[in-house]
Amino acid sequence: MKRIDHIIQHVDVKETRGSLLREVKGIAINSRDVRQDFLFFALPGTKSDGHTFIDSAIALGATIILHEKQLDHFSSEVTYIQVNDIRYWSAYIAHKFYNEPSHSLKLVGVTGTNGKTTVATLLFKLFTKLGYKCGLISTVQNQIGEEIIPSTHTTPDCVSLNQLLQFMVDQNCTHVFMECSSHAIDQDRIAALRFSGAIFTNITHDHLDYHQTFDAYISAKKKFFDHLSSSAFALTNADDKRGAVMLQNSSAQNYSYSLLQPVAFKAKVIDSSLNGLHMLINGKDVYFRLIGHFNAYNLLAVYGASICLGEEEEKTLLALSSLQGAEGRFDYQVSHSGIVTIVDYAHTPDALENVLRTIQQMRKGHERVISVIGCGGDRDVTKRSVMAQLSCELSDISILTSDNPRSEDPMAILYDMQGGLNSASRRKAEIIEDRKNAIYRAVELAQSEDIILVAGKGHEKYQEIQGVKYPFDDKMILQEAIQHFKK
């Protein structure tokens, strides 16, 4: 419990009403989470505005309200604090309320369109193997040591995030690795956190439903690097033309990694197959269990970050060579009849192309590639036709199906996908709305040594339709289909 005047000591306050000597027992951004003597953040959202829930929060026991807009009425029993930038100051206050947990941790953030989950997860596994107690905050799951905590967002809201970080401190974690989504950066969810380092993987077409323009998307990523301290490191992919942009105006110690250029962390892929990657990293010959050229970049980013955090090169490479990636990222199995099945989270054009080109590199020549892909509803519409065309160009058979349609009509999404196909691609494509039936169809068509890719959902164990999340696991459905057709 803390007194409000202590928490807002350095906050840029516009106006206050009521006593600043009140004790704060808890903080909340959702009025339904409010309890007696709570501070409620009236945050604006994409679908609703927290200002409209102030009365509800007070009815549930809120005695302090942080707001941005001018209010029409006030309660004499409540303290009101008005600020100009409520998102930033909410994150700042949340950090203060939970004892500034990032100051007690080596906190590393990973941002980019693709590779965030794999890089953050590999860092967590690597530093755990090196003997540290670590925390992980990712799309797949949050984790403290061996304890797994379900994840609902790539980056949690500012209250949940700081609460989780404080719990990690209480559990004696020394290092925390977290994904930082463009939404979270733009909405200041990570504001006030002290990062020891930041990693940029790449940036490609995604989230334009939220950011509207590609420049705005890039700016959101860059904002993360602009706010790093001089004691932090910034590590970017030199082979992505936006990598150098991220380092502009950053006060951090700047480093880059590359497969093509002579930079601080340089590597060359010697061999890439289903057995893994053989790479030369800063002159060291290393074999890795991860598969695909895109994972060469992920491994190089993890290696570079480890060195920036002060770890020894030999120990890092030895530990890293034994690790597997995150669930649902190029997650492959081979059936008893020799059919290769791959489940991958690829849900952007660039990610899908990376996975399919990796599969093409592994082909001996006679195998067919059968892809099952969909596009999410209520998301960037412009990538649908691009992904469908890529799937057809780089596959022998492409089955277009439902992903997470959310509030949209699945067939409308499929028509958007089909609309981008040329005549040659249309001959390769099948449309099967039901995702389970689409996966079964892919297995039915497959012969020995053919490769089936089921893309888009990866680790997810649900399918979201009209606001309801129904149990659905691509990997499990694939296994069922293999058994059903005795393949």
Closest by CA to 245, choosing from 228, 265, 225, is 225
Q: Which two tokens stand for residue 452?
A: 């089936």
3-state secondary structure of 149: strand
Sorted by sequence, the CB contacts under 8 Å of residue 177 that are 6+ apart come out as 108, 110, 120, 121, 123, 124, 127, 134, 135, 136, 137
Q: Give the angle subtended at the CA of 276 by the CAs of 274 and 282, to the nearest 5°.
A: 150
Average pLDDT over residues 431-459: 96
Least confident of 136-140, 387-391, 428-432, 481-485: 136-140
Q: What's the confidence (pLDDT) of residue 236?
A: 97
* CA 389/CA 410 separation, integer angstroms: 18
Q: How many beta carbons lie within 10 A of that of residue 441, not counting itself?
A: 19
According to CATH, what is the number of the domain 2-97? 3.40.1390.10
Beta bridge partners of 141: 150
Q: What's the confidence (pLDDT) of residue 154?
A: 65
Higher pLDDT among residues 224 and 139, named by residue: 224
Q: Where are the alpha helices (DSSP H) in 43-82?
A: 54-59
Going by pLDDT thresholds of 50, 70 and 90, the confidence category of residue 47 is: confident
Average pLDDT over residues 383-392: 96
Average pLDDT over residues 67-76: 95
- Class of the 101-320 domain? alpha beta
* CA 472/CA 456 separation, integer angstroms: 13
- Class of the 331-484 domain? alpha beta
Strand 106-111 relative to strand 134-137, pairing: unpaired
Residue pair 111/200 in contact (Cβ under 8 Å)? The answer is yes
Q: What's the confidence (pLDDT) of residue 211?
A: 46
Q: What's the confidence (pLDDT) of residue 394?
A: 96
Q: Give me the residue label for tokens 């906190």.
A: 107
Query: Does the pLDDT value for residue 101 go beyond 70?
Result: yes
Higher pLDDT among residues 181 and 409, named by residue: 409
pLDDT tens-digit map of 449-458: 999 999 999 9
3-state secondary structure of 301: helix
Residue pair 269/251 in contact (Cβ under 8 Å)? The answer is no
* Sequence letter at residue 457: K
What's the burial of 99, exposed, middle or buried (CB within 10 Å: 0-12/13-18/19+)? Answer: middle
Q: Does this chain's domain 2-97 share its CATH topology with 331-484? A: no
Domain range summary for the chain, segments of one domain joined by +: 2-97, 101-320, 331-484
* % of the chain with per-residue pLDDT over 70: 97
How far is residue 254 from each of residues 77, 78, 241, 316, measured CA to CA in Å? 51, 47, 16, 20
Phi-psi region of 434 (alpha: psi -120 to 50; beta: other; left: phi over 0): beta
Give the DSSP per-residue string, 386-411.
HHHHHHHHT-SEEEE--S--BTS-HH
* CA 64/CA 74 separation, integer angstroms: 11
* CA 392/CA 387 separation, integer angstroms: 9
Q: How many beta carbons lie within 10 A of that of residue 483, not counting itself?
A: 11
Q: What's the confidence (pLDDT) of residue 210?
A: 52
Q: What's the confidence (pLDDT) of residue 70?
A: 95
- The distance of Cα 432 from the centroid of its chain, to the nearest Å, equals 28
pTM: predicted TM-score of the whole model, two decimal places: 0.85
The secondary structure of residue 211, as a DSSP letter, is H
3-state secondary structure 343-379: EECCCCHHHHHHHHHHHHHHCCCCCCEEEEECCCCCC
Q: What's the confidence (pLDDT) of residue 169?
A: 98
Least confident of 85-89, 128-132, 155-159: 155-159
Helices (H) and strands (E) in the chain, counts: 17, 26
Least confident of 16-20, 215-219, 266-270, 331-335: 215-219
Query: Does the pLDDT value for residue 221 go beyond 50?
Result: yes
Beta bridge partners of 148: 143
The secondary structure of residue 22, as a DSSP letter, is P
Average pLDDT over residues 192-211: 79
Query: Does the pLDDT value for residue 356 go beyond 60?
Result: yes
Average pLDDT over residues 416-430: 95
C-alpha dihedral sign at 144, 146, 152, 154: positive
* CA 78/CA 445 separation, integer angstroms: 66
How far is residue 113 from each of residues 119, 149, 151, 158, 329, measured CA to CA in Å? 12, 24, 19, 21, 14
Q: Where are the alpha helices (DSSP H) in 188-238?
A: 208-211, 214-226
Q: Which two tokens stand for residue 443?
A: 């297995």
